[in-house]
Structure 1
Amino acid sequence: MKIFEIMTRDVKLVSPDDTVESAAKRMGEIDAGALPVAENDRLVGMITDRDIAIRCVANGRGPATKVRDVMSEEVKYCFEEEDIEDVAENMGEQRLRRLPVLNDDKRLVGIVSLGDIAACEEVDASGEALRGISQPGGLHNQSGPAAQ
């Protein structure tokens, strides 16, 4: 199967000049943790709930901060004609939960998530992607110095 068969086509976008507040509201409206950022009909970045928490709020920036100031500019993507198994493997290797989907002209035509892949009954690719995504990223300690 090809990615275009399972991707979400109705992708909500934000502009680099939108505020973080408006991006967060849109995420809430569509119950998503990430939004593609587009400018002049081109994908220029992604903003995630984590970008907002870490690059904006944790740094003392307010809701009027521009998306361009906190978005991730390096965007991984796939093409609509790629095989689901290949994309799932790539997502696992790169530890990604979602990817923008582009056509041959590099125009955004959709987004594919790990959930989309997992819901695909004809392909058993979600397990491999999930194993890669779920690999520990390093030593974590949320209990703080008092617990040591």
Structure 2
Amino acid sequence: MKIKDIMIRDVIAVDPETTVSRVADILFTNRFHGLPIVENGKLAGIITEDDFFLKNYDEIYLPSYLRFIEENKSADNLPPEIKDKIEKLLGFKVKDIMTTDCVTVKQDMDISDFMNLVRETKFTTFPVTDMENNLVGIVALSDVLGTVREGSIQMKKAFKGKFKSMEAEELAKELDFLWKEKLVLVSKKNVSTWKGIALVSIISTIGLLICISFILSNI
């Protein structure tokens, strides 16, 4: 399986002049982990969830905060120094905080190589570009995990007669746990915690499943 088989082709991108508040709204509404920045048709950078955590205030994730303010019409419960920092951040544009030296992947990259890249960089979202640096898609660790989860039923059927039924059932349960309990943290706020605790286990599990799938396809 290659990146082109799982990447998102209909990409929502923004330009460097887009406001930070607009990007925060897009991330929250769509539960995205990051957005590519495009200028004159070319990839100019990327902005991710990590850029929206207030330094020294890990409990404050800007997209969630903005939605809270929108629904409750009040920020009186926040200390003045946090409110000031948020107001300053909201005055920025994407070009002020985006990462320009971003890591990209190509459509023909194997999933196993992609998983190695995630492990090495600790990044979870990557723009997909062609040879001319045109943006052709975006891929995230969640896309890989989602593909594996969708195929868990088929894999359980493939396991039948080759592995103990209990082992297949436990593997499926582990996939569900990773998807429901760990991955969801990336869409909320505890990105750093999730990366530190779950990234290795997810990569190991998916790597094992890729190997098993290859073996089964050759039986």
Tell me the TM-score normalized by structure 2: 0.52
Partner Cα distance (1:50, 1:85) in 2 = 25
Q: Which residue in 1 is equivalent to 2:74?
A: none
Residue by residue over 1:43-71, the C-alpha shift from the partner in whole angstroms, topping out at 9 and shown as x without a partner, is: 1111123213347x778314231111111
In structure 1, the residue matched to 2:38 is 38
> Could you say which residue in structure 2 is the equivalent of 1:115?
142
Letter in 1 for 2:200: R
Distance 1:43 1:132, change over 3 A: farther
Q: CA deviation at 1:132?
A: 8.3
Distance, in Å, in 2 between the alignment partners of 1:120 and 1:92 is 18
Structure 1 stretches (4+) deviating beyond 4 angstroms? none
- Which residue of 78, 99, 103 corresponds with 1:72? 99
1:16 paired residue number: 16
Q: Of the candidates 191, 199, 213, which is equivalent to residue 130 of structure 1?
A: 199
Question: Post-superposition shift, 1:21?
Answer: 0.7
* CA-CA distance at 1:115 after TM superposition: 1.4
Residue 142 of structure 2 aligns to a residue whose secondary structure is helix
1:75 corresponds to which letter in structure 2? C
CA distance in 2, matches of 1:118, 1:99: 15
Q: Which has the higher strand share?
A: 1
Residue matched to 1:137 = none
Which structure has the highest helix share of the two? 2
What letter corresponds to residue 11 of structure 1 in structure 2?
Answer: V
Unaligned 5+ segments in structure 2 are 56-61, 63-81, 152-197, 204-219
SS of the residue 1:72 aligns to: coil
Change (3 A) 1:106 1:132: farther
Q: Distance in 2 between matches of 1:78 and 1:16?
A: 21
For the pair shown, the structure with the greater C-alpha radius of gyration is 2
Q: Is the 8 A contact 1:92 1:133 kept in 2?
A: no
Corresponding residue for residue 143 of structure 1:
none
Secondary structure of the structure 2 residue equivalent to 1:65? coil
Root-mean-square deviation (Å): 2.6
Residue type of the alignment partner of 2:24: A
Alpha-carbon distance, 1:93 to partner = 1.0
**Contact 1:46 1:72 survives alignment (8 Å):** yes
Cα pair 1:77 1:100 within 8 Å, conserved: yes
Q: Which residue number corresponds to residue 49 of structure 1? A: 49
- How many equivalent pairs are there? 128
Contact preservation (8 Å) 2:33, 2:125: no
| Structure 2 Cα separation of the partners of residues 7 and 62 of structure 1 | 31
